[in-house]
């Protein structure tokens, strides 16, 4: 008599998260079904509910993001902070996130009020607030939002629109151009 095959809970959970990130990044929340995610992970769809509770909880887990580790320590000014964000969010290797960066993943599902609220919280109260604190002057928040618009626009052009030049551009050249724009906002 054969013993029942035991599933590796951590590996299954990881496979589901990887599949969910790819699907949500490509199709957004509403265009992604739990059956497709489970099929991509090679498991039964009921395991999504066992490990995550719901499709929404799986989406939330797939969005788990944080400011890149050590960003505050190595990024003294707005140029350095922006450069770290360009590297992590805009030019980052999609394979590192099992799809696009979670901020871009949220943009694909921004039609949902709860996703828009989370996007607002992470961008405005997280990244932009940190960036604004690095600018001197009374219009620091405005300059931070201008940089934020630049970075989000770059992310959309690269990942969503599929523009022909930005995705193929030399990352060092992109970083240098962005640094020059941010440096102009420091004055």
What are the φ/ψ torsions at residue 84 (nearest 5 degrees)? Answer: -65, -40
Nearest to 144 by CA among 156, 126, 158, 119: 126
Q: Which of the residues in the chain have pLDDT under 50?
A: 4, 66-67
- Identify whether the C-beta of residue 16 lies closer than 8 Å to the C-beta of residue 43: yes
Residue indicated by tokens 């949220």: 106
pLDDT of residue 67: 47
Residue indicated by tokens 């489970």: 38
- Tell me the per-residue pLDDT of 84-109, one tens digit each, with 9 for 90 and over: 888 877 887 655 555 567 777 788 88
Q: What angle do CA 53, 59, 63 make, to 5 degrees?
A: 130
Rounded to two decimals, the pTM is 0.75
Nearest to 77 by CA among 159, 6, 183: 183
- Tell me the per-residue pLDDT of 115-136, one tens digit each, with 9 for 90 and over: 899 889 989 998 899 999 999 9
- Identify whether the C-beta of residue 89 lies closer than 8 Å to the C-beta of residue 178: no
pLDDT of residue 179: 95
- Identify whether the C-beta of residue 43 lies closer than 8 Å to the C-beta of residue 50: no
Q: Any long-range contacts for 27-34 (C-beta under 8 Å, 24+ apart)?
A: 27/108, 28/108, 28/109, 28/111, 29/55, 29/59, 29/108, 29/109, 29/112, 29/115, 30/109, 30/111, 30/112, 34/58
112 CB burial (10 A radius; 0-12, 13-18, 19+): middle
Which helix H or strand E contains 9, and what residues bound it?
helix 9-27
């Amino acid at each position: 008599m054969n013993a029942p095959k035991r599933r590796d809970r951590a590996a299954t959970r990881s496979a589901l998260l990887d599949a969910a990130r790819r699907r949500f990044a490509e199709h957004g929340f509403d265009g992604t079904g739990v059956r497709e995610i489970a099929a991509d992970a090679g498991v039964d769809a009921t395991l999504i509910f066992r490990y995550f509770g719901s499709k929404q909880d799986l989406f939330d887990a797939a969005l788990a993001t944080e400011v890149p580790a050590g960003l505050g320590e190595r990024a003294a000014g707005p140029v350095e902070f922006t450069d770290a964000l360009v590297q992590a969010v805009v030019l980052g290797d999609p394979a590192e996130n099992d799809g696009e960066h979670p901020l871009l993943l949220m943009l694909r599902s921004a039609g949902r009020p709860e996703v828009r609220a989370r996007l607002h919280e992470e961008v405005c109260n997280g990244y932009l607030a940190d960036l604004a604190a690095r600018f001197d002057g009374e219009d620091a928040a405005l300059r931070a939002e201008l940089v934020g618009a630049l970075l989000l626009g770059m992310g959309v052009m690269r990942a969503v629109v599929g523009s022909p030049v930005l995705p193929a551009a030399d990352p060092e050249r992109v970083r240098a151009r962005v640094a020059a724009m941010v440096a102009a906002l420091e004055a």
